[in-house]
Amino acid sequence: MSKSDFKTRHSKLAEEIRRHDKAYYVEGTPTISDHAYDMLYRELLDLEKEHPEMVTPDSPSQRVGGAPLDGFESVRHAIPMKSLDNTYSPDEVRDFVKRVQKLLPEEELDWTVEPKVDGVAICLRYENGMLVAGITRGDGTTGDDVTENVKTIRGLPLKLQGNVPSVLELRGEVYMTRSGFAKLNDKREAEGEERFANARNATTGTLKQLDPKITAQRPLQAILYGLGQVQGDTPPTQQEFLDWLKSMGVKASERNWLCKTEDELISAIDELDQVRDGFDYETDGAVMKLNSVALRERCGSTSKAPRWAIAYKYAPEQAETVLKDITIQVGRTGALTPVAELEPVFLAGTTVKRATLHNEEDMRRKDVRIGDRVIIEKAGDIIPAVVKVTKEKRDGSEKEFVFPSKCPECQSEVTKDSTTGSGNVVIRCQNPDCPAQVRGRLEHYCHRGAMDIEGGGEVMVRQLVGAGLVLDVSELYKLKLDEVTALERMAEKSAQNFLDGIHASKSRELWRLIFGLGILHVGAGVAKALTRCFPDLDALMDANADQLNEQDEIGPVIAQSVSNWFADPFHRKLIERLRKAGLEFNSSLFNSGNEIGPFTGKTFVLTGTLPTLKRSEAAELIEARGGKASSSVSKKTHFVVAGEEAGSKLAKAEKLGVPVIDEAEFLKMCEESQ
């Protein structure tokens, strides 16, 4: 073949692959088998390997991901990306329509309703039809440049079809398909890695990967629904805009409704609720928008959200099923928790087989019996729980559950503990060497909120304990590479990542270590309070219950629990093993009372998703400067730091007149306080 022939073949291959990508990812109607597609793709890669000069910016080969990135640059949005206000009832929908009609009294309004995709907001910038940038929402003003990762998403065209404006910013959501997410988790489990908690978190983490090759392997897709900066003409209505997106090869909402009245809006919201489980992505609501772009401009926006659009959030989805059995789960503190084993039922996008019954008292209060038909829902759309029994459907065959008098894991005696502070009596296994407690303590220690050890999830911990390699947290620091790689389905790279995470945990803040030890009643907030009061772990260990009870935020129950834990010779020996391993025992939060930090006396509340900081990281910045990070807004709150999708805390702050700042302002305050 001549060079001209190679070029012609390359052009045909690239165009054919783009056509198949559109059919599969955008239109949902694949026209060839996966094997046939792979053969075309392989031929394209081989051709470009022999003739690298043929590689173009919009070649399908550019989706495989390039070299790892050093980090993400912050980019200011040409036009701010605002969030939507939320509404939760038909009455609030009617109120919203009336507010907009009041702004446009002489106009006849019509509306569109689209699914609210539970993903990560993105802005895609095309210049002369070519994708040049992908920017996260961030704080709405500034986002992260994730262009290289966005390019790996096969459903997004690298080049738009047809005549398009010279500059066109398209906005939407990046998400992980339900089917793809399930396969990804199965693959991670098979490789000994921790399963992702939910698709949205997995999507966020994938977009923030510094290695685009990893992003390319994840099942990301995108749905677009809005505009940013534009230089050129665009359709005058939302309905026409959605059709225009599809004509350019871009995926838009597969269902949308055009409504002219409040009743039609509410009907459309209800209809969407009935069909949304059929979508291959998570949805948590419906988005209502004025159809006319010109009328939107007349409505304008508040500082946080447009006045012409709002999101309707659906209530947690419920389902009815049969409770086939009740089993007992033993936690890290020895607490015995009843778990409902269910007839599998599809709920909020997943098949649910188990649900929590919380504790014995809750189970008795609801009069839950084996064989009952029960109503379950996902609390926060994540954790399934039994909410009630349909007693009218009982036929007499149901059986009461007898709570065990011995631990089902180790057969040790159990006792009732009424000192939980929750008002409930908890039944506990008293054997600290109970395998279930050992596993629970290790998982808790490795958790992101504690010592943040990557890879230390349920699958890894179960294998470590089962193999007798780790029986307490100090033994994590003795693990060797060959021991970890010998575990089932454990690749050397994953094993090394796990060991690197263990090594990195040695320098974690002292409060994380105290929280990670799993002391009864000591959460992250209490751990921070303790490290503000004591300069190091030795001083904390030597304090008696009365001395602990004198400290702010430490009550008598917590004081006694901490004192008892450190008085135990077994725990003292554990601390010495951790000291020998080289962990950080000094407190960076300690304040003797004489030290005045730049935030001393100031109370901050964090709400929503911040662009670059985790909430825990922002709280550490506040506390290191002498301030307090609180979980609730009051008149005594000095600042509310609000991120994306801030909810009731933001509304309360605005009502009380509490100053609201974004992450950029917060970081500036931290920098100025150095």
Q: Which residues are marked as active site? A: 116
Distance CA 331, CA 338 (A): 11
DSSP, residue by residue, 90-124: HHHHHHHHHHHHHHSTTPPP-EEEEEEE-SEEEEE
3-state SS class at 649: helix
The candidate with the shortest Cα–Cα distance to 128, out of 74, 63, 73, 57, is 57
Q: Which amino acid is at 655?
A: K
Residue 465, C-beta contacts closer than 8 angstroms, at least 6 positions apart: 435, 438, 439, 442, 471
Strand duo 309-313 + 86-87: pairing? parallel
Residue 604 has which token pair?
């901050």
3-state SS class at 433: coil
Residue 300 has which token pair?
């304008």
Residue 202, C-beta contacts closer than 8 angstroms, at least 6 positions apart: 176, 181, 184, 196, 218
| Phi–psi pair at 424, nearest 5 degrees | -100, 150
CB 148 within 8 A of CB 313: no
Kind plus residue range of the DSSP H or E element containing 661: strand 660-661
- The CA dihedral of 244, 248, 249, 254, to the nearest 10 degrees, is -10
Residue 321, beta-bridge partner list? 374
Distance CA 27, CA 170 (A): 18
Which residue's entry shows tokens 């009870």? Answer: 549
DSSP, residue by residue, 178-233: HHHHHHHHHHHHHTTPPPPS-HHHHHHHHHT-S-HHHHHTS-EEEEEEEEEEEES-
| Phi–psi pair at 412, nearest 5 degrees | -80, 160
